Amino acid sequence: MEAKKGRREMKKFELTTESITNALGKKLFRIKALVEFGDVKAGELGGYVEKEGNVSQDGNAWVYEDAAVYGDARVYEDAAVYGDAKVCGDARVYGNAQVYGDARVYGYAWVYGDAEVSGNAWVYGDAAVSGGARVSGDARVSGNADYACIKGFGTEFRHTTFYKTKENGIGVKCGCFNGSLEQFREQVKETRTGKIVKEYLAIADLMEYHFARGDSDDE
């Protein structure tokens, strides 16, 4: 449920007369900030929405640049959608989540917490991407079985996200690294030593088994 804290007495944005018609024939309107909030200045133009209800008037949620939110999708709390990203259907993006690049979030998907969806990634169906997950590249996440986020290992104890790609392979996002599972293994061998190598490679093997098992019959 959307939090009511930080409710404003006046609207933070309005729809302008500038509009586009998307590939589905929906008319979308560029938004304009009426007050200053977060990193948005009063008078600043944002991205596109189909209706005012697509973005909360409370919190610091915002749609930037040429990003678009339409259908019954909602962006609220402190979430941000920018670049050429699209959020539509009944999707929800909230918390401190970010959706950017050419990413797509649609269907009944939720992206929340500190999660990020970027690149050409698609998150859809009943998927829920949360916490510190980073879904990027050509990821295709249609349910919770299509990605896994692990933290607390390696040299910096950072979040490492493994996800299915559109070619039905496995992608990895770990810090600045973003590539295939095999590229991840090679990177680890080239840049890490000792126990850290064993940790990363063991996790890679586990994720390979995890996704392979997800494509087979339940055991």
Query: What confidence score (pLDDT) does residue 4 get?
Result: 47
- How far is residue 175's CA from residue 162's CA, in Å, rounded to a whole number? 12
22 assigned to some structural domain: yes
Burial class (CB in 10 A: 0-12, 13-18, 19+), 156: exposed
Overall domain count for the chain: 2
Residue pLDDT, tens place only, 174-184: 888 889 999 99
In a domain, 96, yes or no: yes
What is the C-alpha separation between 145 and 155, in angstroms, rounded?
27
What backbone torsions phi and psi does residue 28 show, to the nearest 5 degrees?
A: -115, 140
Q: Are residues 131 and 158 in the same domain?
A: no
Question: Of 118, 142, 166, which closes a domain?
Answer: 142
pLDDT (0 to 100) of residue 109: 95
In a domain? residue 8: no
List the beta bridge partners of residue 145: none
* Predicted confidence (pLDDT) per residue in 93-144, tens digit: 999 999 999 999 999 999 999 999 999 999 999 999 998 899 998 899 988 7
* pTM for this model (two decimals): 0.78
Q: Which residue has the higher pLDDT, 193 or 144?
A: 193
**If DSSP codes are grouped into helix, strand and coil, which group holds residue 162?**
strand
Locate 20 and state its tokens. Answer: 């586009």
What integer best gives the mean pLDDT of the chain?
A: 89
- Residue 153: its pLDDT value, please? 72
Confidence grade of residue 199 (pLDDT, cut at 50, 70, 90): confident
Which pLDDT belongs to residue 218?
46
Instruction: Specify whether 136 is located in the same domain as 63.
Output: yes
Q: For residue 198, what are the contacts with CB-CB under 8 A and spacing of at least 6?
A: none
**Residue-number span of the structural domain to which 67 is assigned:** 13-142
Helix 181-191 to helix 194-214 angle (10° resolution) is 170
- Is residue 2 a part of any domain in this protein? no
